Amino acid sequence: MNSPFNRLDLNLLRVLDAVMEEHSVLKASQRLHLSQSAVSHSLARLRELVNDELLVRTAGGMRPTARAVAMFPIIRRALQSMETAVQPPKFDPPISDKQFTIAANDCMTTLVLPRVLSLLKKEGPHVDIVIKPSTRIDLAEQIDLDRIDLVIGTFSEAPQRFRSYTLFQYDDVLISDSQLQLGTVNLDKLASLPLAVVSLGGEKEGAVDGFISERGLARRSEMYDRLSLEHALLQTELVPRIAVTLPHFLALPELLHGSSLAAIVPRPLAIAFHRQYPLAVYELPYPSSSLEVRSLWHSRNDDDVAHVWLRDLLRRATESLRTSVERFQSNVNGGPAQR
């Protein structure tokens, strides 16, 4: 079918749109950076194509015909749609109501989310955050299906299709009820304490060296450095007593209160607990591994403007975690609480 549209040069519609808006061939040519003759030639081609005069020259300027008046709003919308299609996507945080889905365990949520919400209040007040547990879902599958925008956690390996960025690092410390007054903790004292630790389902799911692997993505499941603890006590023939194993962190303050329990936890979480509860923090009598907390996402989102903004927000939200750990170093071993 030999439709006029098949012979249409879209630049002719841009010319008609400009002349209709400016009511002048001269002004339209200046706006389009064309000569007046080029604009007149384009109008002539379009008149022939649609078999209508479209614009008639009068003393008051170019007067559109009824056909041109009918065509103009349709052409305007079409040109605006095409302009939107070829322009880079926009994301305006102050007015956006976008919802991001982040996977994280309760430790990472406690440490990171309050800082994220503080920044959102200033920069993206209508942006919503959904937190999904990172311990009961197949993270790699959820990222692949675009059901999760980003994961916050510690990983030993990741597929090439994923990208990651280091947010902060941490090692382990010991916490207990401040009334215990443990003083300096050596290996003998540590071995005598009933310990509470957090393991995020690793025993049942077949963790290897404290990490669970799913579809090439290995996430940390044992939330304490078990290997370093066992290696340190192996030299003394002492055996640690793991009295309580939990699937989450937030019950620890209540469990430690008024008890003889001590818990091995990430240093940043110990700082957060220490500020809110009557807990003392102690250095472990052995070096624990320093682990990286990373944000992880699918490579298809590398250049997505909203996703880039979210990743930068997380980077800025966790800056204080690094500095707070440094400031807190001198106050461990039962030092005064920083409230």
Long-range contacts made by residues 98-101, C-beta under 8 angstroms, separation at least 24? 98/127, 98/128, 98/306, 99/127, 99/128, 99/129, 99/130, 100/127, 100/128, 100/129, 100/130, 100/149, 100/150, 100/306, 100/310, 101/129, 101/130, 101/132, 101/147, 101/148, 101/149, 101/150
Contact (CB, 8 A) for 190 and 287: no
- Write b or e for each residue in 133-168: b if 16 or more Cβ atoms lie within 10 A of its Cβ, otherwise e: ebbeeebbebbbeeebbbbbbbbeebeeebbeeebb
Structure tokens at 207: 């963790």
Over the stretch 219-245, which tens digit does the pLDDT of each residue have?
Answer: 888 899 989 998 898 878 888 889 999
What is this structure's pTM? Answer: 0.72
Range of weakest confidence among 77-81, 210-214, 327-331 = 327-331
| Strands 155-157 vs 217-220: parallel, antiparallel or unpaired | antiparallel
Amino acid 272: pLDDT: 93
pLDDT at 263: 97
Q: Write down the pLDDT at residue 117.
A: 96
Indicate the average pLDDT of the chain: 87
What are the structural domains of the chain? 4-86 (1.10.10.10), 171-290 (3.40.190.10)
| Mean pLDDT of all residues in 103-121 | 95
Which of 299, 155, 165, 169 shows the shortest CA–CA distance to 213? 155
Q: Which of 17, 21, 24 is nearest to 83 (CA)?
A: 17
Highest mean pLDDT among 1-15, 67-81, 135-149, 174-188: 174-188
Which two tokens mark 247? 């699937």
pLDDT in tens, 253-275: 999 999 999 999 999 999 999 99
Distance between CA atoms of residues 64 and 43, nearest Å: 12
d(CA 40, CA 17): 13
For the segment 34-83, what is each residue's pLDDT rounded down to a tens digit? 888 888 898 888 888 888 888 888 877 778 889 988 888 888 888 888 87
